[in-house]
């Protein structure tokens, strides 16, 4: 802990994985001799750098950039970039650590990494966003490469930001290296279904969990937190499966729409106009309420399925108890570590089906790996083809977690199943590669 002082999110993520590993080392004691657990917890490389840029008023601004190259035993480092004022090295390390196991669970040849900046994109002009992305890439480009490290989007980083970063990378390297970024627009080497993949993937995962109890989304009340990339495409897929999404949110509060969220309106407000969620209630009119964040929680809205898709630690033990009291039967983490350890315990003790983020939200990175495949073969697949691959991958991840939990004597414990299956895949590769 002294080596990673002041990094509570990283401690939380490591602790949660280590708790599952007792049963693994009992079966494979050689992992202890090889210090595999200690090695897996230490990033291979961490890059921290200055990002100077000039705002629209001509003032010089400084932000801090990060890229944590966590583990490359299975392939090039792979993981998104996050732009949010809360970003610090501990948050990027927690995300990179989670990413390593998540990527292993997909079965694709990708290692784990994560990056970002404490830059706040809210209220910035398009020109400011572009200059910031270019300055960031002026430093980061030397650490990337399609065989080395392949970033993508995350909170605050979508198609626009990826375009600016990729453009600057291409310019600095004088090389069209499409596979160095994923989440690109279709116009320059992106993959169909990548934008939708994380939200769709989580929905497929929860569908598979519900099927183990002989039930489905059809007719169920669903709450999805957030209203960004993951949330929007979760809502889209849940609705297509016949579920009714009653509520969604942003950091300012949540809306309750008993008729079911109007996805067209939500997309216009969030994707096109970049406005706050209260605007949804205002435009939708009578019967739709906006509740500010200091007046209530999205988790107080009664539902049968909850899909937290905003940020880490957004769902507390108290929220979990409210959800259980209101009859929740399944929870799928679209975000990374959105449920606190206390919340996870409440769900598991109440017998709620619980899908941890490193398994349930792996559809995004899996489809990124499909984008890399298309780039490598200079091919472009149809939406249907790509989504069919995503659906198969998510079913496989579900079954792997389910079977691993059973094999290790904890049937139904998807947290344990995901942690063990992900760890063993990375650990086996590291063992074969020697002490590096
Ligand atoms: P976006 O930036 O598109 O959306 C984030 C959403 O969460 C926004 O509605 C935002 O509200 C809300 N939010 C962010 N921070 C907070 C906060 N501190 N408190 C309350 N609400 C907050 O990001 P994504 O949808 O891409 O990412 C959401 C989550 O999913 C993250 O945990 C990310 O790591 C994870 N994830 C994303 C993947 C992807 O493919 N994009 C893949 C796998 C995981 P506001 O606008 O008010 O800030």
Neighbour-count burial of 377, counting CB atoms closer than 10 A to its CB (0-12 exposed, 13-18 middle, 19+ buried): exposed
Element (H, E) at 397: helix 383-407
With beta carbons less than 8 A apart as the criterion, state whether 71 and 100 touch. Answer: yes
Average pLDDT score over residue span 213-240: 98
- The pLDDT, as a whole number, for residue 378 is 95
Asked whether residue 239 is domain-assigned, the answer is yes
149 and 249 share one domain = no
Asked whether residue 223 is domain-assigned, the answer is yes
- H helix runs in 268-382, sequence order: 278-284, 317-325, 341-349, 357-360, 363-376
- Residue 219 makes CB contacts below 8 A (sequence gap 6+) with 242, 243, 244
- The pLDDT, as a whole number, for residue 33 is 86
338 and 210 share one domain = yes
CB atoms within 10 A of CB 118: 18
143 and 200 share one domain = no
Asked whether 334 lines ligand 1 (CB < 6 A), one says: yes
222 and 328 share one domain = yes
Is 78 assigned to a binding site? yes
- Smallest CA-to-CA distance from 310 within 208, 150, 202 is with 202
85 and 116 share one domain = yes
Asked whether residue 142 is domain-assigned, the answer is yes
CB atoms within 10 A of CB 269: 22
351, 379, 401 - which closes a domain: 351
Catalytic annotation on 358? Answer: no
Give the total number of structural domains in the chain. 2
Rounded Cα gap, residues 407 and 207, in angstroms: 22
- H helix runs in 72-182, sequence order: 89-106, 126-140, 159-173
- The pLDDT, as a whole number, for residue 436 is 87
- CATH no. for residue 322? 3.40.50.720
348 pLDDT above the threshold of 80:
yes
1 pLDDT above the threshold of 90:
no
Q: What confidence tens digit (pLDDT) does each residue in 113-168 have?
A: 999 999 999 999 999 999 999 999 999 999 999 999 999 999 999 999 999 999 99
148 and 219 share one domain = no
Average pLDDT score over residue span 219-239: 98
User: What is the predicted ipTM?
Assistant: 0.99
- For 103-216, strand residue ranges (E) read 112-117, 149-152
Q: What confidence tens digit (pLDDT) does each residue in 395-422 have?
A: 999 999 999 999 999 999 999 999 999 9
Rounded Cα gap, residues 400 and 406, in angstroms: 10
Rounded Cα gap, residues 222 and 218, in angstroms: 10
Nearest residue by C-alpha to atom 23 in ligand 1: 155
207 and 242 share one domain = yes
- Smallest CA-to-CA distance from 417 within 431, 435, 396, 433 is with 396
Asked whether residue 67 is domain-assigned, the answer is yes
Is 251 assigned to a binding site? no
- Smallest CA-to-CA distance from 169 within 146, 140, 190, 148 is with 140
216 and 343 share one domain = yes
Listed range (23-37, 326-340, 371-385) with the worst mean pLDDT: 23-37
| % of residues, the chain, pLDDT over 90 | 97
Asked whether residue 417 is domain-assigned, the answer is no
C-alpha 356 to ligand 1 mean position (Å): 16
Asked whether residue 221 is domain-assigned, the answer is yes
Q: What confidence tens digit (pLDDT) does each residue in 8-60 have?
A: 999 999 999 999 999 999 988 988 888 999 999 999 999 999 999 999 999 99
Average pLDDT score over residue span 91-113: 98
- The pLDDT, as a whole number, for residue 286 is 87
165 and 201 share one domain = no
CA distances from 139 to 72, 128, 143, 189, 277 (A): 21, 17, 8, 23, 35
Is 122 assigned to a binding site? no
- CATH no. for residue 77? 3.40.50.10860
Rounded Cα gap, residues 247 and 149, in angstroms: 37
Element (H, E) at 249: strand 244-250
- The band of 2, judged by pLDDT with boundaries at 50, 70 and 90, is confident
172 and 315 share one domain = no
Mean pLDDT computed over every residue of the chain = 97
Range of the domain at 154: 42-178
178, 205, 237 - which closes a domain: 178
Asked whether residue 379 is domain-assigned, the answer is no
Asked whether 356 lines ligand 1 (CB < 6 A), one says: no
Average pLDDT score over residue span 205-216: 98
Asked whether residue 296 is domain-assigned, the answer is yes
Asked whether 230 lines ligand 1 (CB < 6 A), one says: yes
Rounded Cα gap, residues 169 and 185, in angstroms: 15
Ligand 1 closest atom vs CA 152? 40
220 and 343 share one domain = yes
Is 325 assigned to a binding site? no
Residue of 27, 57, 93, 114 marked active site? 114
Asked whether 226 lines ligand 1 (CB < 6 A), one says: yes
| Chain center to CA of 399 | 20
- The pLDDT, as a whole number, for residue 402 is 98
226 and 345 share one domain = yes
331, 351, 371 - which closes a domain: 351
Q: What confidence tens digit (pLDDT) does each residue in 302-324 have?
A: 999 999 999 999 999 999 999 99
For a mutational test of ligand 1's pocket, the pick from 12, 78, 81, 229, i.e. the residue with the most ligand atoms closer than 8 A to its C-beta, is 229
* Dihedral sign (CA 47, 119, 162, 364): positive
Rounded Cα gap, residues 148 and 144, in angstroms: 6
Average pLDDT score over residue span 209-234: 98
């Amino acid at each position: 802990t002294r080596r990673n002082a002041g990094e509570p999110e990283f401690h939380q993520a490591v602790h949660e994985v280590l708790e599952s590993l007792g049963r693994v080392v009992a079966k494979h004691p050689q992992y202890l001799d090889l210090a595999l657990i200690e090695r897996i917890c230490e990033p291979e490389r961490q890059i921290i750098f200055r990002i100077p840029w000039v705002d629209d008023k001509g003032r010089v601004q400084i932000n801090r950039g990060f890229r944590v190259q966590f583990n490359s035993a299975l392939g090039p480092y792979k993981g998104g970039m996050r732009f949010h004022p809360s970003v610090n090295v501990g948050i990027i390390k927690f995300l990179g650590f989670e990413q390593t196991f998540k990527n292993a669970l997909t079965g694709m040849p990708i290692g784990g990494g994560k990056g970002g900046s404490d830059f706040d994109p809210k209220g910035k002009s398009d020109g400011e966003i572009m200059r910031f992305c270019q300055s960031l890439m002026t430093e980061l480009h030397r650490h990337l490469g399609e065989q080395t490290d392949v970033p993508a989007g995350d909170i605050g980083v979508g198609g626009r930001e990826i375009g600016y970063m990729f453009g600057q990378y291409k310019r600095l390297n004088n090389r069209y290296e499409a596979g160095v970024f994923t989440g690109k627009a279709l116009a320059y080497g992106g993959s169909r279904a990548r934008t939708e993949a994380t939200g769709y993937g989580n929905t497929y995962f929860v569908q598979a969990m519900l099927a183990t109890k002989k039930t489905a989304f059809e007719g169920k009340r669903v709450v999805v937190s957030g209203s960004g990339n993951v949330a929007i495409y979760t809502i889209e897929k849940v609705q297509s499966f016949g579920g009714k999404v009653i509520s969604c949110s942003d950091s300012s509060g949540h809306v309750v729409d008993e008729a079911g969220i109007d996805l067209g309106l939500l997309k216009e407000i969030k994707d096109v106009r970049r406005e706050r969620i209260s605007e949804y209630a205002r435009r939708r009119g009578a019967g739709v309420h906006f509740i500010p964040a200091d007046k209530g929680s999205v988790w107080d809205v009664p539902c049968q399925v909850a899909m937290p898709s905003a940020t880490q630690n957004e769902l507390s033990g108290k929220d979990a108890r409210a959800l259980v009291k209101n009859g929740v039967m399944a929870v799928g983490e679209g975000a990374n570590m959105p449920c606190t350890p206390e919340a996870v315990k409440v769900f598991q003790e109440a017998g709620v089906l619980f899908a941890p983020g490193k398994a349930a939200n792996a559809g995004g990175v899996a489809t990124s790996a499909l984008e890399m495949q298309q780039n490598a073969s200079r091919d472009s697949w149809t939406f249907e083809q790509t989504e069919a691959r995503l659906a198969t991958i998510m079913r496989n991840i579900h079954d792997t977690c389910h079977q691993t939990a059973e094999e290790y004597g904890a049937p139904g414990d998807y947290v344990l199943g995901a942690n063990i299956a992900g760890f063993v895949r990375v650990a086996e590769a590291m063992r074969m590669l020697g002490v590096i």
